Amino acid sequence: MTLIRSGLLAASLIALSSGAAFADYELNILHINDLHSRIEAINKFDSTCSAEEEGKGECFGGVARLKAAIDAERQKLSGRNVLLLNAGDNFQGSLFYTTYKGAAEAEFLNLMKFDAMTVGNHEFDDSEDGLATFLDKVQFPVVTANVAAGASSKIGDRIKPFIVIEQGGQKIGIVGAVANDTEELSSPGPNVLIGNDVADITAAVAELKKEGVDKIVALTHVGYPRDLAAIAKIPDVDVVVGGHSHSFLSSTSDKAEGPYPTMVDNPGGYKVPVVQAGAYSKYLGNLKVVFDDAGVVKEATGAPITIDSSIKPDEAVLARIKELSGPIDELKNKIVAETAEPIDGSRETCRAAECAMGNLVADAILDRTKNQGMTVAITNGGGLRSSIDAGPVSMGEVLSVLPFQNTVATFQLKGADLVAALENGLSQIEEGAGRFPQVSGLKYAFDKSKPAGSRVVSVEVKEGDAFAPLDPGKTYGVASNNYLRAGGDGYAIFAKAAVNPYDFGPNLELVVADYLSAHRPYKPYTDGRITEAAATGMAEGATGAETKPATDGETATPADSSTTATEGAATTGNTGSGTTTTGSEAAATTAEGSVAAGGRHVIARGDTLWDLAKAAYGDGTLWRRIAEANDNPRPRALHIGRELSIPAK
């Protein structure tokens, strides 16, 4: 890669010295990600905006405003090279998806005239059937290199690994990828295999290079941390347009997760701009990239455009939304309860700590199942999709929080397996993963400075009116949702160890609506059932058994998990057949394949100082040498994407 680019640069210099002149190439990229069926405008809680809020100018997004903003930007850029890209997860999140199953999303995306889209994990929520129907309707190419559809799949060959678009006399390659753990996060089914993002993008880029394409955009749904740590490092990738982590990037806002664009050093000796545009149609990404004659990015600038009330919605789109709203308005407007205060269901809170919405949903599940002998309820923070404002609560608002049509599941589980489930839920806090466990009938403390698999400090279970230490050998009645019970979000222990499982209880949104109605006016609360312990050594907790700490520099693996390579794991290997790499294999591959004494190493998910020392020096006990050379980072809390100096032997 470096030699090729160096050769091209040298050739350019020779040509210039002979009197030839070449112009830089400018490419403007408009982009969205994680629409999540926000067909109508949203409020500050990311749920459907009311007519009153619209009148006050407090609404954001919605496809009518989004289309108007896209049209306006295209008009401003008339005569220039412009691409409109979609980084996936258009499905799931409102009554429009519940009612029309992707048909409404397809219709409005077609009106916006996207140049390309990658699938997100939620595009598989209704298995390949739902995605196949969507593909029947969309009028733009869908590119995802690590999706392999089998011969009997209804998807057929309609998802390509890459496409080539010609603009301004230049070829632009667009290669896509979805999260490696999509089979765990969603339901692609047996006819669709999810390969490895890095390996499959690398293979697609090689094909593009053979076709003479030297400007390549990776359109990904793998998350901002993974884009920084792995995707932007792939040779010959020039730009990364991402999704999945709902990351708001900005160079001016103190609320941003990172700068827009975030510039990443590629091993080829050049910088790669990485961008993402929040979620829920609230932002339109707007990136300008300038390439030199050799196809190298020499400048990348831009900022997300906030789709707020200053943008007048497209009237034709508004009329069509109103027409489609007819069949669902009656259900949507039915008032089921009142709440005295807003119920916080924000992603930032519910994927990292106890939250009021998590308490509501877990309490409702336990209340419905307590007469069946259930004493504990667990639900995933990622299943809570919005907050609810104070005042009357409509069925539409409940469905916006719980749009997945999950059912209540009940089963029995040993105490030790319950702790393993909590460990899984706590294993990806750093990435904001949706598996974070919200609970009822249970209290637990955790220490996120510990390695994944060793974060639970104590667990207590409610017995009568008091809490008692969890007994690892005792069998408990557990209630959850059918998605987690089947092993979703990494809860493989539920699928493997559950006794007498029943997954066909009432719909979760109806259970919560009934609970709210029975407790009207509902008073949201948190009560300390989930606490974060101080970052001290792991002591014997109230689990009834000692939890052995991991040695400094050693990584623990969540018990009984079958997590595939996920965000932050820079895995490699041949996955052209759709084979995935397990998390432990990924860590080993990363460490052994890229760590050299006297060099540098970018931290990927699964890395530990012990493994890095073993790979660099053949002796894991020398991990302190690496720590001391890098300001002594916490050995159990390495930050994905950070570059470490590996001292010489």
Q: Tokens standing for 106? A: 């397809």
Query: Above 50 in pLDDT, residue 412?
Result: yes
pTM of the model: 0.65
Task: Give pLDDT, residue 377.
Answer: 98
Distance CA 43, CA 388 (A): 10
DSSP run (H or E) holding 441: none
Quickly count: other Cβ atoms within 10 Å of residue 367's Cβ.
Answer: 18
pLDDT band at 564; cut points 50, 70, 90:
very low
* CB-neighbour burial class of residue 207 (10 A; exposed 0-12, middle 13-18, buried 19+): middle
The residues that bridge with 532 in the sheet, in sequence order, are 446
Residue whose structure tokens are 């058994």: 545
pLDDT digit string, tens, across residues 195-252:
999 999 999 999 999 999 999 999 999 999 999 999 999 999 999 999 998 899 999 9
Residue 628 Cα to chain centre, angstroms: 33
Distance CA 351, CA 331 (A): 29
Distance CA 174, CA 241 (A): 10
Rounded mean pLDDT, 372-397: 95
CB 560 within 8 A of CB 497: yes
Distance CA 645, CA 609 (A): 12
Task: Give pLDDT, residue 611.
Answer: 76
| Three-class SS state of 561 | coil
Q: Tokens standing for 87? A: 């980084």
User: Among 89-103, 118-132, 136-150, 298-312, which stretch is predicted with the lowest mean pLDDT?
Assistant: 89-103
User: Among 29-33, 95-99, 496-500, 519-523, which stretch is predicted with the lowest mean pLDDT?
Assistant: 95-99
Share of the chain above pLDDT 90, in %: 70
In 53-202, beta strands by DSSP E: 82-86, 116-117, 142-143, 147-149, 159-160, 162-167, 170-178, 192-194
Smallest Cα–Cα separation from 33: which of 287, 336, 205, 394?
Answer: 287
pLDDT band at 601; cut points 50, 70, 90:
confident
pLDDT band at 576; cut points 50, 70, 90:
very low
CB 226 within 8 A of CB 430: no
- Specify the pairing of strand 499-502 against strand 530-532: unpaired
pLDDT band at 543; cut points 50, 70, 90:
very low
Share of the chain above pLDDT 70, in %: 85
User: Among 88-102, 352-366, 372-386, which stretch is predicted with the lowest mean pLDDT?
Assistant: 88-102
Give exposure, 267-286, as e/b (b: 16+ Cβ within 10 Å).
ebebbbbbbbbbbbbbbbbb
- Specify the pairing of strand 216-221 against strand 239-241: parallel
Question: What's the CATH code, domain 583-645?
Answer: 3.10.350.10
How many CA atoms lie within 13 Å of 350's alpha carbon, on the beta-carbon side?
27
| Three-class SS state of 440 | strand
User: Among 143-152, 491-500, 624-633, which stretch is predicted with the lowest mean pLDDT?
Assistant: 624-633
Distance CA 623, CA 635 (A): 9
Query: Above 90 in pLDDT, residue 128?
Result: yes
Query: Above 80 in pLDDT, residue 113?
Result: yes
Task: Give pLDDT, residue 606.
Answer: 64
Q: Tokens standing for 503? A: 């997954």
pLDDT digit string, tens, across residues 254-265:
989 999 999 999
Phi, psi of 161 (to 5 degrees): -70, -35
Task: Give pLDDT, residue 627.
Answer: 77
In CATH terms, the fold of domain 335-532 is: 5'-nucleotidase;  domain 2 (3.90.780)
pLDDT digit string, tens, across residues 606-630:
677 777 877 888 876 677 778 778 8
Q: Tokens standing for 312? A: 């007048």
Tell which phi-psi region holds residue 615, choosing left (phi > 0), alpha (psi between -120 and 50) or beta: alpha
Task: Give pLDDT, residue 637.
Answer: 54
- Specify the pairing of strand 283-291 against strand 297-302: antiparallel
User: Among 7-16, 19-28, 136-145, 298-307, which stretch is predicted with the lowest mean pLDDT?
Assistant: 7-16
CB 339 within 8 A of CB 388: yes
Task: Give pLDDT, residue 7.
Answer: 42
Q: Tokens standing for 512? A: 């919560």
Distance CA 119, CA 101 (A): 15
Q: What residue spans define the domains of the chain?
A: 22-315, 335-532, 583-645
Distance CA 124, CA 129 (A): 8
pLDDT band at 585; cut points 50, 70, 90:
very low
Total residues belonging to the chain: 649
CB 281 within 8 A of CB 61: yes
Task: Give pLDDT, residue 549.
Answer: 29
Quickly count: other Cβ atoms within 10 Å of residue 9's Cβ.
Answer: 15
Query: Above 80 in pLDDT, residue 121?
Result: yes
Q: Interhelix angle for 127-137 vs 103-112, to 10°?
A: 40
pLDDT band at 638; cut points 50, 70, 90:
low
The residues that bridge with 480 in the sheet, in sequence order, are 409
Task: Give pLDDT, residue 594.
Answer: 61
Mean pLDDT of the chain: 86
Rg of the chain, C-alpha, whole Å: 25
Smallest Cα–Cα separation from 223: which of 183, 180, 255?
Answer: 180
Distance CA 436, CA 479 (A): 16
CB 507 within 8 A of CB 415: no
* CB-neighbour burial class of residue 534 (10 A; exposed 0-12, middle 13-18, buried 19+): exposed
Q: Interhelix angle for 315-333 vs 103-112, to 10°?
A: 160
Residue whose structure tokens are 């709902």: 246
CB 479 within 8 A of CB 460: no
Better pLDDT: 249 or 568: 249
The residues, ordered by sequence, that sit 6+ positions from 290 with a Cβ below 8 Å of its Cβ are 24, 25, 26, 27, 297, 298, 299, 300
CB 388 within 8 A of CB 451: no
Task: Give pLDDT, residue 544.
Answer: 40
Task: Give pLDDT, residue 99.
Answer: 87
CB 459 within 8 A of CB 399: no
Cα distance between the two ends of the chain: 29
pLDDT band at 52; cut points 50, 70, 90:
very high
Options 3.60.21.10, 3.30.930.10, 3.40.50.970, 3.90.400.10; CATH of 22-315: 3.60.21.10
Task: Give pLDDT, residue 25.
Answer: 97
Distance CA 201, CA 195 (A): 10
User: Among 254-268, 357-371, 439-453, 635-649, which stretch is predicted with the lowest mean pLDDT?
Assistant: 635-649
